[in-house]
Amino acid sequence: MRISIIVAVASNGVIGRDNNLIWRLRDDMKFFSGTTRGHAVITGRKNYESIPEKFRPLPHRTNIVVTRNTEYAAPGAQVVHSLQAALDAAATAGAAEAFIIGGGQIYRQALERGDVGRVLLTHVDAAPEGDTFFDLNAVAAGWDRVSHGRFEADERNEHGFEIVEYTRAAS
């Protein structure tokens, strides 16, 4: 099973504030939806709760929520208590690919493991204030970079952005 991260990051590393997205990028959301559909998505509890209730669990995906809270329930999603348990659950469900979709703590844990094979990173042309971050340097050295397209700010997208796929360079 391939392990991937999908994340939108501002130029200053910010990915969120007060457990919310801080921009409106409809074309990026369309990319996210199309890319993760049919696969497992792994998210931390806070990130899961930030998804509007009418969209939870994310449709057409195996939703796995990681939390330390042993009493937590997420109807329609599987609740586990570690990233390893989430990856095991995705593999058991037959997922060809598991997407780590946030938040900051889950991203850090995933990158520290060393088995993330690709990162789909939306580079957002903004530097907002925030309280949740993604380490852009974590996918700099040792990763191959391929652009999936540049989008300019318009009525659909609050900021310009570029979607880039990083894959671990062959050793």
pLDDT one digit per residue (tens) for the chain, 171 residues: 999 999 999 999 999 999 888 999 999 999 999 999 999 999 999 999 999 999 999 999 999 999 999 999 999 999 999 999 999 999 999 999 999 999 999 999 999 998 999 999 999 999 999 999 999 888 877 899 999 999 999 999 999 999 999 998 765
pTM attached to this predicted model: 0.95
- Per the structure, the count of domains in the chain is 1
Domain residue limits at 27: 2-168
Q: Which CATH number fits the domain that encloses residue 154?
A: 3.40.430.10
The DSSP 8-state label assigned to residue 155 in this structure reads S
Amino acid identity at 124 = V
pLDDT of residue 137: 86
List, in sequence order, every beta strand (DSSP E) within 14-154. 14-16, 40-44, 62-66, 78-80, 97-102, 118-124, 132-133, 143-151
pLDDT of residue 171: 57
Q: CA 80, CA 99: separation in Å to the nearest integer? A: 15
